[in-house]
Amino acid sequence: MNDASKKTADKKNPHLIEGGIDAIVIGSGVDGLTAAAYLGRAGLRTVLIGAGPEIGGRIAVREIAPGVEGVDGEHLVTVLDPEVIADLELYRHGIEFAARRLDTTYFFESGGVLRFDGDLTQAALLSLDDDSDREALEAFMGDVLETSAFLRPAFAPGGYPGGGDAHQRALEKSLGQASPEMAMRIRKYLFATADDVLRARFGEGALRTLLLAETSLRSGASPFEPFSFMSLLRRYAGEAAGLQGAAAYPKGGAASVVTALRRAAQAAKVDVRAATPIKSILIEGDKVAGVTLLDGGQVRASIVIAAVDAQQAFQEMIGPQFIDIGLQRMLTARRPHIASARMQIVLKGVAQDDATRRNMMRRLVYAPSPEAIASAFIDARAGRVPERLIVEAVFPTALDEGAALDKRQIMSVLAHPLPFDAEPDAERREAIRSAILDSIEMFAAGFSGRIEAEDLRLACDDAQSVHASSGAYASKPDILQQWALAAAVSGSGGISGFYFCGPEAQIGAGLSCAAGRVAARAALRAYKKGAA
Amino acid sequence: MIFPAEDFYADAPRPTPLFPAVAAHSEANLWTSVNGWTAARVYTSTAQEYECAKSGAALADLGPLARYAVRGGEAAAFLGRLTSAPALTLQAGESARGLMLDDRGFVIDLAEVSRLSEDLFLLTLPAPHARHIALAVRGLDVAAENISGDVAALGVFGPQTAGVLAAAGLKSVSETMAASGVLRGVETAARPIQFGALPGVELIFPKDEALTIWERIIRRGVGTPIGLDAMEILRLEAGAPRPGLDFMPAGRPGASPRTPEELGLAHLAPLDRGWFNGRRGLRELAGKPRRRLRALSVDAEAASPGAAVFCDAKPVGRITSWVWSPARKRVIAFADVDAASRGNTYEISATPPAEGRLAAKRFETVESALAKAFAGEQGVATDFRR
Amino acid sequence: MNGQFDFLVIGDDEAALAAAAAAAKAGARVALLAPADRKKRAPAAVPSVPNFVWRRLDLQDYDLTLEPVSARITLFKDGETFTSHASARATAEAFAEQGCDDHLLWRDFQEEMTALCMDRPYGPKGGTGVKAFAAMLADPAALSQSARLYGPCADILDDYFSDPRLKAHLAAHALGGSGRGDGEAGSAEILTEFLDADAWRLRAPKDGTVLRAVLEQVCHDAGVVVTTQKPVEATSSGKFVTVSFGGEEKIRVRHLFFATPDAARMAGVKDSLGALGQAGHAAFTVRFRLASGAEPPCGDASAIFQIIDDRSELQAARDAALQGRLYDHLPVEFEYASNGEVIARSAFLPAAFFEAGEWRGWTGQDRQAAAAIIKERLSSRIPNFAAHIRRTETELSAPPAGKTVFGACDRVVVQPHRHNAISAAVKLIDRVMAGDE
């Protein structure tokens, strides 16, 4: 409606300069939609500009096989920020969880199987033989959940200029109430390797293997390296559907989160424009003045929030002449080595036995042996496809009645770790594909006979579809590097009126939206101060 | 041009390209090391050299300074980013002074930029800072080449500069325009330099031709070589801080960095002109100096670096560098004092074994006059093209 | 041996002796546990003895002269070499001569690494409490410092330099002794510490007194009780650890001190909070007695050499060691002892071997294989090396399998890997005495 008429107007007049707008949000992913919704609700005239043809960024619905639709991006919700859900009233806008508190079944290389209750506070490990293991697990989960909850402020994106001291005070206040025991524990968890921590607690048993797999899933740091245990704490610090550390499946997959956010943005009267690539961000004096579009037009506003990756936002849109030398060094310092891959597989037939049917209602994780995980990370970092991968699988068709197919199932798989390629050739794709299928075969025997169609999606494919830099969605390095980069991009961007909430501003992987919320709040604070 | 502090603990310095030429004129044979190059402290006598500079023309071996030849499509943007000099608006032949700041707005070093031609800039720094420049080059279409070792640099300054150059047959070298070209068969670049109120020119030529040009100039007997000690007097009279002595470049471990305002050089980094690295940080720090560098003239014959400075009987800072000024017949010094101390009279503790305090007064230097003018005309950008 | 001691220093390398003597001179009661079978061998280059240690131990009263190693040389394939020296100027000049474009950055690099090493906002040992943690999180500059310091050294090297030989040279010499790969977290810390002037090793001249002998004398004079008995059991209770030897001999100590990670590894102790990353490697030393007439590479017999083909080998060797297998192209460090022996050492060997799904310890066959690899590496760089060998001796420093005497103790202090090992060990024991650890 509005979009169409504006577009034709632009086409007639490519040098149109638009004014009267209070805020521009670049990037139509979940963080962009969140930020725009917050700004719109506060009464600012907001425009959301996305380069891709669809709204939603890398989370998109796509046809993965004739007549079958799958969702790219995320297949579970584990860290969706509860504040965002509450503030934007996302339940009212249509988020519904088809399955909450998903139990996880772990399959081991030795053939053993353990089931973990979805509610981590229960720490109920079913089919566990040894009672002492159970006690150790309870104690461990208690410690871990307590520490994760305590460290939530540390994992939240934060730190804006002008919020420097306040941010430190807030952090000190929330973290300062640690008992010496907790302080000791935090220091140990931070600097020790995940393997050391787990081995000290659980010896060489199955629990160590299970937790090693859980820690290293989606993380770019091998669990045999320092700072790796924090990935587990980060994962367990999040909430899904009100339960700490749990996993939930929304009705319609992650795409429904996007739909709800879009509805929230529209309810907040945000002007959402797709298929409008941006050429650069206008900077006048030390203030942001708006954006220029690729087709030559300009949109002027005094607030610009960038929800695209840092390389694009800083190096391409702002340009090296306007960013501090130190920030540029941080952006160019590291190359991504490791990435995850998604595969969506269409399977023929229905589950025959009860056990399989029950497993399809759970989250399945294949945990290779610790040596295999170590080798996998070694191989991935060296650029080779590992033999055994950690695999996480869910069945959208089983969890969500609305997505059920006739006599077919969809299995959505996340495999990790894989070497990151900016432009993988066909041979590499084939190697990745067969490695993933081999790993699935380890716990779902005979599965390859039932494959009707499969769709492999690598990190670079996600990036390409949203016109992001190729490394935007690679796995993140260890927590210290993530903290440093997040602080750099959200703190010292420093251009007045510019806020960043792209993937680098978020700690840990997963669909969170917290970065968008923090950026919007910072923008609103500055806006009110300026208007006052 | 400002020399950085000497390397007190360095290995034996390398000889500059002009070393064979100037060494012959050194009677005192007192050498030191600056940036790893030889630099003469005194040739004949400090007082004599100083007089020559004030009334005649002085010749300085400027080899130890760091020089970069900057080329490329975005050379102006690079220099505009790297230094606070107005590089983007420089025309061919113009020069400007500026400061190199780090991200937070602290001073890394002083900088001088000259545009020799459409596509060639000359950047002169007291110290190389290779890493900072390598980082600043990233992402821009520019090449910055360190030419310090490949060229001989001769500075001629003083009231009779023009005469000296004319006598040597280098009349086309102007005192106000930077240029490069072939001069008497030697590829030369020249740029104006300023030492306090004294005008001057720096000539740069390939090191193989060092002796030729030197001979040409020295043959007429008009200029005299000047050493670091005499230049120190000129520097303090002009009020220019010396990196490594009066302030530590930001990024050095263990020393507290300084903003331009704290060094009295706020006029070299105006916040409203063009963007430069560190401007955003500087905006937050501007107007809130914690310390100040003040030029004092002391009623004494000698002082010592590190001597305590008192204001209203309270210790407020220390002397960072001092020199006996023949013009004023007293000691002039730079003192790093607390910004809160106001007023014009201070006291300095006397050099042991003497006891007691010496009276000292602030005095106006060329730089402080510029700074005052800048502060007075807030918002009006003071242009430093020469 | 009976009694109560403040420290039981385990190991008798130079760093342990220096730390024991320093503590004893400061008034602590120190016992030193030396291995029983210490063969008399030509000494390798020793870590530098800084001035404060010299003064503390009054080393001027003993007849001791030490000369610094002249250069660090890396031997690449096909006779290519790369050299660096102790003085920044000499090194920059050497780089320029070798055609390395990065020589202008050398000084800035050293300064930045020193700065990185010096300010440690929050580390495994520094900055207690959560306040320091919060302060670090809130300060982007501190976070960036920590991230660089505790990250992989490959990132720092790639960020600074472009010449692959220079990067390989620095990585090989910095990480050679520690067995870490250059893509591993924690390797940057070792690189920053390696560039310190004190990280250059020293050597005694040909017929001069050996540092170890002098330090043993100093220990004796300071009242350190040296024993070579093998401990049988160690139990910790409260503030003390009770170590029993055979028979009725028991001692109670407040702290168990390992001055180097090698000593800790041999005793089966892992440093839990001290250094980053796991132990999990073994070090293998081979001494070759040569016939006279062998020419050292580059004609410099007082340098420390590294053999490496390509920088990626460091990480590949480390990966192989972590996976429990021997790597063919081991990075090897070697030097010429004052009596003409070649002492070759590699720390990129696995602590245990992983075969057929199980971990097993070192066997004689493994030692032979490792020695063969090292010999082959040396032969590939020194012409006619194999022909000149008269005798070979090997020494393996690997974590013992199974339970060890000290494995389960707490109150253990381990000095993480440092190039200036003596200085670090003495400082550490001072800190423990002052109660800061």
Q: Where are the domains of chain B?
A: 19-65+148-238, 67-146
Neighbours of A188 (CB within 10 A): 16
- Superfamily of domain covering B67-146: Aminomethyltransferase beta-barrel domains (3.30.70.1400)
Q: How far is CA A145 from the centre of its chain?
A: 20
User: Which of B272, B277, B284 lies closest to A324 in CB terms?
Assistant: B277
Identify the CA nearest to A415 among candidates A351, A337, A348, A475. A475
State what percent of residues in chain C have pLDDT above 70. 95
pLDDT < 70: residue spans in chain C: 119-121, 123-128, 270-279, 293, 436-437
How far does A523 lie from chain B, in Å, by closest CA?
Answer: 18
Locate A69 and state its tokens.
């639709």
Rounded to a whole number, what is the distance in Å from the CA of B73 to chain C's nearest CA?
Answer: 23
What is the pTM (predicted TM-score) of this model? 0.89
- Say how many C-beta atoms besides its own lie within 10 A of residue A207's C-beta: 23
Chains interfacing with C (3 or more CB pairs < 8 Å): A, B
What does the pLDDT average to over B114-141? Answer: 91
Q: pLDDT class for B125, splitting at 50, 70, 90?
A: very high
Architecture of domain B19-65+148-238: 2-Layer Sandwich (3.30)
The residue-averaged pLDDT of A397-408 equals 86
**Tens digit of each residue's pLDDT (9 = 90 or more) over B169-206:** 777 777 777 777 777 777 788 888 887 778 888 988 88
Q: Largest Cα–Cα distance in chain A?
A: 75
pLDDT value at B362 more than 90: no
- Which of C367, C337, C336 lies closest to C349 in space, CA to CA? C367
Q: Which residues of B touch C (CB under 8 A)?
A: 10-11, 14, 36, 104, 128-132, 134, 146, 251-254
Instruction: Answer yes or no: are the C-beta atoms of A244 and A120 closer than 8 Å.
Output: yes
Does A321 sit within 8 Å of B80, measured CB to CB?
yes
Among candidates B102, B140, B283 on the partner chain, residue whose Cβ is nearest the Cβ of A320:
B140
How many residues in chain B? 386
pLDDT of A455: 94
Contacts of A324 in chain B (CB under 8 A): 103, 277-278, 280-281
What is the average pLDDT value for chain A, to the nearest integer? 87
pLDDT at position C274, please? 41
* % chain A with pLDDT above 90: 49
Where does B207-275 have alpha helices with state H? 210-219, 228-238
Asked if A492 lies within 8 A of C140 by C-beta distance, the reply is yes
C135 Cβ under 8 Å from any chain A Cβ? yes
Mean pLDDT of B141-145: 93
Number of A:B CB contacts under 8 A? 48
Phi-psi region of C34 (alpha: psi -120 to 50; beta: other; left: phi over 0): beta
How far apart (Å, rounded) are the C-alpha atoms in residues A423 and A420? 9
Which helix H or strand E contains A131, and what residues bound it?
helix A131-150
Residues 112-131 of C with CB under 8 A from B: 112, 114-115, 118-119
C299: which residues sit within 8 A by CB, 6+ positions away? none
pLDDT reported for residue A211: 92
Q: Is B79 or B372 the better-scoring residue by pLDDT?
A: B79
Which of C267, C223, C202, C208 lies closest to C409 in space, CA to CA? Answer: C267
Residues belonging to chain C:
437
Asked if B17 contacts B151 with a C-beta cutoff of 8 angstroms, the reply is: yes
How does pLDDT run across A227-276, given as a tens digit for each residue? 899 999 999 998 887 888 889 999 988 999 999 999 999 999 999 999 89
Is A328 an 8 Å CB contact of chain B? yes
What b/e readout covers C321-347, taking b as 16+ CB neighbours within 10 angstroms? bbbbebbebbbbbbbbbbebbbbbbbb
A171 or A510: which carries more pLDDT confidence? A510
Contacts of range B268-272, beta carbons closer than 8 Å, 24 or more positions apart: B268/B84, B268/B85, B268/B97, B268/B98, B268/B99, B268/B110, B268/B384, B269/B84, B269/B98, B269/B99, B269/B101, B270/B84, B270/B374, B270/B381, B270/B382, B272/A285, B272/B379, B272/B381
Domains by residue range for chain C, with CATH: 3-67+203-274+401-433 (3.50.50.60), 101-199 (no CATH), 281-397 (3.30.70)
